Amino acid sequence: MKTVVTSIQRLALLVLLFSRMGFSQTYSTRFEGIESPLSESGRWANNGVDWTQIRKRDGIACSTQTGTNTGIYKFDDSYAHLSGFPPNQEAWGEISIAKPDESCFQELEILLRFTSAPHRTTGYECFARCVKSTSSYVQIVRWDGPLGKFTYLADRHGTNYGLSNGDILKASIIGDVITVYINGVEKARATNDTFRTGNPGIGEFLACESGRGIGSNSNFGFSSFSARGIGGSVAGPAPVKGPLRASKNPNYFEDASGTPLILCGSQTWNTLQDWGTGGSVQPLDFDAFAGFLKAHGHNFTLLWCTELPRFSNLPVTATKPPDFTVSPHPWMRTGPGLATDGGLKFDLTKFDHTYFDRLRTRVDALNRAGIYSAVYLFTAEFLLRFRGPTDGYPFSGPNNVNGIDDGYHGGPAESGLASVTMAASNFITDLQDAYVRKTIDTLNDLPNVLWIVSEEAPMKSTWWNNHLISLVRAYERGRPSQHPVGYATLERPTDAILYNSDADWVAPWAWISPTTSCGTGTPSCKVNINDSDHSYFGMWNDPPQKNRNYAWENFLTGNQVLFMDPYLVYYPRENRNLCLSPVNGIGSRPDPRWENFRNNLGYLLRFSRKLNLANVIPRTSLCSTKYCLAQTPSAGAEYLAYVPAGGAFTMDLSAMPSARKLAVEWFNPATGETIIESPITAGSSSQSFSPPFGGDAVLYLVDTEGHR
């Protein structure tokens, strides 16, 4: 007997299935019939008054917007949203484009957590342009209430970010993470929790500004739409499982659960202290920075500090770089008398608790965001390169009330290094040690902490660096938690000093470090976190593929990667960072030039979670490109290979017999797209591959029955 299942029965079955899977609300439609505005028995709403309505006609939901308004009124998108959905939700629709029109802006939108009331609409809009060209884009925008008031959260441009007829546009929000997909491929991600309730929906935008043609709102729309809620309240980020400790694989730390992991992410200079030119600091929106890291899939950053209240000669401009002012600082400025920067003199026996409160608040914010934070104790590079007669440095005699004097009273910066180049303890190290102990007391109970003494310090600072590593380790030994302590390169290439130290992790000078970073210290092998600030200075002069080479070649050599991200520090010299709307040297939005590299650090982490990091090691002999992480048992093998310039290459897959199969996954670092190919037979000692796209490529092979 033949069973006929009607559309209503199918929908009922879907509702039952999703409810059993934990989805607490669903809705699907193919927009049958004619209706304006879209209602479908009261399921859809648009109560905003100032915006236009969605209509449906012959299986297409389309706009009623004319596309001819100007000013804020051109943002009168057509929209409609559902009701009754939980905060975690996803929605998707099939795209109908009768006539792609590059002369106008035609956009289709998936809406999340949307609410509407007269003259007010809030929620998240995830949309793409209805054309495939270099002018295509995917964006995530937060609607903030009144007509024309909105905030960009993500912006991706290029030929891979447009819509074609028949595509599926999908978006989801889980907790505070918003993700957009086209045909199942992630295209954009943002993190924001301004709105914690609301409903999914659809929207459409048409703008044909002067000289851009006439356009038609019937040329594009949705031919189907589905939404489902995921039960439960808004989920917070997974807590960090720490503190980190050495794992059995010396290339990686493991968390408190015993799971090995890599650390990758962006860092920037003004994340702990505020910076600014013209004698005025600009506050940093730290929650936005933490969200920025999450949106790019990062799990690690550094919190910088500089001991200089004012510094000179950071080469942000080609000529006459401005002085920067910095605050707050660890010690109170009590006077009497003024320091050389014009502020009150420091009392080095009194800590400024606002500084330490800020430090704890920011490290804890990163912890709640699932991000590990290395905390700089000092930044001796600034003493080496950026001192000046009006820097206000606390350990110089004119700048404190305690009679402490490093001997610097002007002149070349390199003449003011006595506070880091001593060969034995003295009055300055006593004060520094007290500050380090205070910092440890402030943060010891937080699980996401790592320490780092300094970076690019003078060559004669080795006693000082080693002393502070010993101090941290000894002091934390008597505290509830022990956190890894790091050692960054000195002012010149001296990586052997790092490997022979007692640090747990290192940030070396070499562009690509050895496959293991071992020496004579304890522990003998260090976790290597390659920081572009030291090992790839000048990367802004290279094209994106060369930048990606740095990240992937390090990862495939067993290292991890930090990006010295200029973020909001305006750095026009050689176009390093053209962030938007700078005020006193600090911008309002990051330069999109770096988006691909930021995304690739997130991609590294994504692939690291596919791998069994406890067992994979660099295996240069297994891939003709020399970049391969692999474990090679006779069953359960896996390989991750990188092809820096594209083109054909070979791999040795002889570890497993030909009776076994390997799943094949290609990844394009330039676009973020994944291509799955049919499994191949294992056993060949010289298996040929050719990436299905141009440029650099990543190939992941794994036993079809899973890795070990």
- Asked if 185 and 280 sit in the same domain, the reply is no
C-beta separation of 38 from 55 below 8 A? yes
Q: Tell me what pLDDT residue 103 has.
A: 80
Q: Please report whether residue 99 resides in a domain.
A: yes
Q: Please report whether residue 257 resides in a domain.
A: no
Lowest mean pLDDT among 31-45, 256-270, 420-434, 688-702: 31-45
Q: Tell me what pLDDT residue 515 has.
A: 76
* Final residue belonging to a domain, choices 207, 230, 253: 230
Q: Please report whether residue 675 resides in a domain.
A: yes
Q: Tell me what pLDDT residue 402 has.
A: 98
Does residue 264 or residue 63 have the better pLDDT?
Answer: 264
Phi, psi of 90 (to 5 degrees): -145, 155
Cα end-to-end distance, the chain, whole Å = 47
**pLDDT classification of 234: cutoffs 50, 70, 90:** very low
> Within 13 A of 676's CA, how many CA atoms are on the CB side?
7
Region of residue 636 (left: phi > 0; alpha: psi -120 to 50; beta: else): left
- Asked if 138 and 91 sit in the same domain, the reply is yes
Q: In the block, which residue shows the tokens 């804020």?
A: 72
- Asked if 374 and 521 sit in the same domain, the reply is yes
CA distance 169 to 186: 10
Compute the C-alpha angle 156/160/162, nearest 5°: 80
User: Is the pLDDT reported for residue 193 higher than 70?
Assistant: yes
Look up residue 477 and give its DSSP letter. Answer: H
- Residue 563 identity: F
Mean pLDDT along residues 627-646? 97
Q: Please report whether residue 676 resides in a domain.
A: yes
Q: Please report whether residue 158 resides in a domain.
A: yes
Q: Tell me what pLDDT residue 706 has.
A: 78
Burial of 658 (0-12, 13-18, 19+ CB in 10 A): exposed
Q: Tell me what pLDDT residue 58 has.
A: 82
* Final residue belonging to a domain, choices 584, 610, 636: 610
Nearest-10 crossing angle of helices 544-555, 595-610:
20
Q: In DSSP terms, which residues pair with 97 in a beta bridge?
A: 220
Instruction: For residue 167, give the nearest of 184, 144, 152 by alpha carbon.
Output: 184
CA distance 424 to 410: 25
Q: Tell me what pLDDT residue 237 has.
A: 46
Lowest mean pLDDT among 24-33, 326-335, 666-675: 24-33
User: Is the pLDDT reported for residue 13 higher than 50?
Assistant: no
> What is the gyration radius of the CA atoms in the chain, in angstroms?
28
**pLDDT tens digit string along 352-374?**
999 999 999 999 999 999 999 99
Instruction: Identify whether 412 is preceded by a cis peptide bond (ω within 30 of 0).
Output: no
**pLDDT tens digit string along 551-575?**
999 999 999 999 999 999 999 999 9
**pLDDT classification of 209: cutoffs 50, 70, 90:** low
C-beta separation of 429 from 406 below 8 A? no
Look up residue 22 and give its DSSP letter. Answer: T
**pLDDT tens digit string along 469-481?**
999 999 999 899 9
CA distance 225 to 202: 8
- The secondary element (H helix, E strand) that includes residue 278 is none
- Asked if 366 and 500 sit in the same domain, the reply is yes
Q: What residue numbers bound the domain in which 401 lies?
A: 262-610
User: Any idea what the CATH number is for the domain that residue 67 is in?
Assistant: 2.60.120.560
User: Is the pLDDT reported for residue 226 higher than 70?
Assistant: yes
Q: Please report whether residue 532 resides in a domain.
A: yes
Number of domains making up the chain: 3
Q: Tell me what pLDDT residue 673 has.
A: 84
User: Is the pLDDT reported for residue 214 higher than 60?
Assistant: no
User: Is the pLDDT reported for residue 378 higher than 90?
Assistant: yes
- Asked if 278 and 313 sit in the same domain, the reply is yes
Percent helix, strand and coil across the chain, each rounded to 5?
Answer: 20, 35, 45
The per-residue DSSP string of 122-173 comes to EEEEEEEESS-STT-EEEEEEEEESTT-EEEEEEEESGGGB--TT-EEEEEE
User: Any idea what the CATH number is for the domain that residue 667 is in?
Assistant: 2.60.40.1180
- Asked if 176 and 292 sit in the same domain, the reply is no
- Asked if 603 and 635 sit in the same domain, the reply is no
CA distance 359 to 367: 12
- Asked if 629 and 600 sit in the same domain, the reply is no
User: Is the pLDDT reported for residue 3 higher than 50?
Assistant: no
User: Any idea what the CATH number is for the domain that residue 460 is in?
Assistant: 3.20.20.80
Sequence-separated (6 or more) residues with CB below 8 Å from residue 457: 378, 380, 381, 384, 420, 464, 465, 488, 490, 491
Q: Tell me what pLDDT residue 1 has.
A: 32
Q: Tell me what pLDDT residue 74 has.
A: 79
Token pair of 134, please?
Answer: 């270099």
CA distance 404 to 194: 48
Instruction: Identify whether 523 is preceded by a cis peptide bond (ω within 30 of 0).
Output: yes
Q: Tell me what pLDDT residue 407 has.
A: 94
C-beta separation of 261 from 255 below 8 A? yes
**Dihedral angle over CA of 183, 188, 189, 193, nearest 10:** -100
Q: Tell me what pLDDT residue 708 has.
A: 65
How far lies 67's CA from each of 111, 134, 197, 652, in Å?
Answer: 20, 22, 30, 58
Separation of CA 611 from chain center = 20
- Asked if 390 and 279 sit in the same domain, the reply is yes
User: Is the pLDDT reported for residue 15 higher than 50?
Assistant: no
In a 3-state reduction of DSSP, which class is residue 604? helix
Instruction: For residue 107, give the nearest of 93, 80, 126, 92 by alpha carbon.
Output: 126
User: Is the pLDDT reported for residue 18 higher than 90?
Assistant: no
**pLDDT classification of 215: cutoffs 50, 70, 90:** low
Instruction: For residue 93, give the nearest of 225, 278, 240 by alpha carbon.
Output: 225
What share of the chain in percent tops pLDDT 70? Answer: 94
- The total number of residues shown for the chain amounts to 708
Q: Please report whether residue 128 resides in a domain.
A: yes
Look up residue 239 and give its DSSP letter. Answer: P
User: Is the pLDDT reported for residue 217 higher than 80?
Assistant: no
How far lies 455's CA from each of 380, 486, 538, in Å?
Answer: 6, 10, 17
- Asked if 627 and 606 sit in the same domain, the reply is no
Q: In the block, which residue shows the tokens 């009392």?
A: 347
Token pair of 384, please?
Answer: 């080496």
CA distance 306 to 56: 60
Look up residue 250 and give its DSSP letter. Answer: T
User: Is the pLDDT reported for residue 460 higher than 90?
Assistant: yes
Burial of 17 (0-12, 13-18, 19+ CB in 10 A): exposed
**pLDDT tens digit string along 648-682?**
999 999 999 999 999 999 999 998 888 889 999 99
Q: Tell me what pLDDT residue 239 has.
A: 67
CA distance 448 to 459: 30
**pLDDT classification of 233: cutoffs 50, 70, 90:** very low
* Final residue belonging to a domain, choices 610, 644, 679: 610
- Asked if 373 and 481 sit in the same domain, the reply is yes
- Asked if 162 and 179 sit in the same domain, the reply is yes
CA distance 185 to 255: 30
Mean pLDDT along residues 533-537? 95
C-beta separation of 316 from 569 below 8 A? yes
Does residue 186 or residue 376 have the better pLDDT?
Answer: 376
- Whole-structure pTM value: 0.73
Q: Write out the E strands in 449-551.
A: 449-452, 485-488, 505-507, 517-518, 525-531
Q: Please report whether residue 256 resides in a domain.
A: no
